[in-house]
Amino acid sequence: MSSDTSVENGVSATTASSPATETMQALELDELIRQMISHLGEDPDRDGLLRTPERVAKSMRWLTRGYNQSVREAIGEAVFEEKHESMVLVRDIEVYSLCEHHMLPFFGKAHIAYYPNGRIVGLSKLPRVVDVFARRLQIQERMTDQIADALMEVLQPMGVGVVVEAYHLCMMMRGVEKQNSKTVTSALRGIFRDDAKTRDEFLRLAHGGRGLD
């Protein structure tokens, strides 16, 4: 699997693996999944499981494709000079990720706002930025910070605010098995952290909807 030149924040351009390397990695992953099925007490040669290693490997590569993406690539040239002097908020962005502790899904919504400093970004790019970080083995706390820090670096706005609300299957279908617990994380940068009115406006708008039902 190829890696970002800046793995921690996902901002820099990616470096692609060669086709030969990717083929080798795919075969190795297939075999590891086949071994896992066997170790769990199943027969990987059973009819229903014959192609399962291939399917699971393909699925995992898709679910972790963020390792091969970067924020600069996701935004591209969709940054425009514009003297907009008010908050821009995109709410209820769907989030799907994998908990790095148990490799079980967590899912929910992200609310992202920024205060432009002479430049705005195409609205559809904010969900793409979310996916750059969500499509990895993650923890919600780090992902929230990464989204905020990346937007601060790329857009250089007056500030960024990010709130993520998510349900974690590692808490719902195993362990404590609490079905209705929701985790909420936030990251405030610049004016969103330093100015109480801006912070309050953002949090009021972010939580103004119904959230996760």
Per-residue pLDDT of the chain (213 residues; tens, 9 = 90+): 444 434 455 876 555 667 777 778 888 999 999 999 999 999 999 999 999 999 999 999 999 999 999 999 999 999 999 999 899 999 999 999 999 999 999 999 999 999 999 999 999 999 999 999 999 999 999 999 999 999 999 999 999 999 999 999 999 998 888 888 999 999 999 999 999 999 999 999 998 755 455
Q: Which of 69, 140, 146, 165 is catalytic?
A: 140
Q: Which of 99, 111, 146, 165 is catalytic?
A: 99
Residues facing 168 on adjacent strands? 106
- The question of whether 84 is a catalytic residue gets the answer no
- The question of whether 73 is a catalytic residue gets the answer no
Q: CA angle, 44 as apex, 40 and 46 as ends, to 5°?
A: 120
Collect all residues with Cβ–Cβ distance below 8 Å to 37 and sequence separation of at least 6.
44, 49, 52, 53
pTM over 0.85: yes
Q: Which of 69, 111, 165, 168 is catalytic?
A: 168
Which residue ranges make up each domain of the chain?
3-67, 78-206
Class of domain 78-206 as given by CATH: alpha beta
Q: Which of 102, 153, 201, 207 is catalytic?
A: 102
- Going by C-alpha positions, the residue among 125, 130, 4 that lies closest to residue 74 is 125
Fold of 3-67: GTP Cyclohydrolase I; Chain A, domain 1 (1.10.286)
- Which two three-digit tokens encode residue 103? 């490799």
Length of the chain: 213
- The question of whether 111 is a catalytic residue gets the answer no
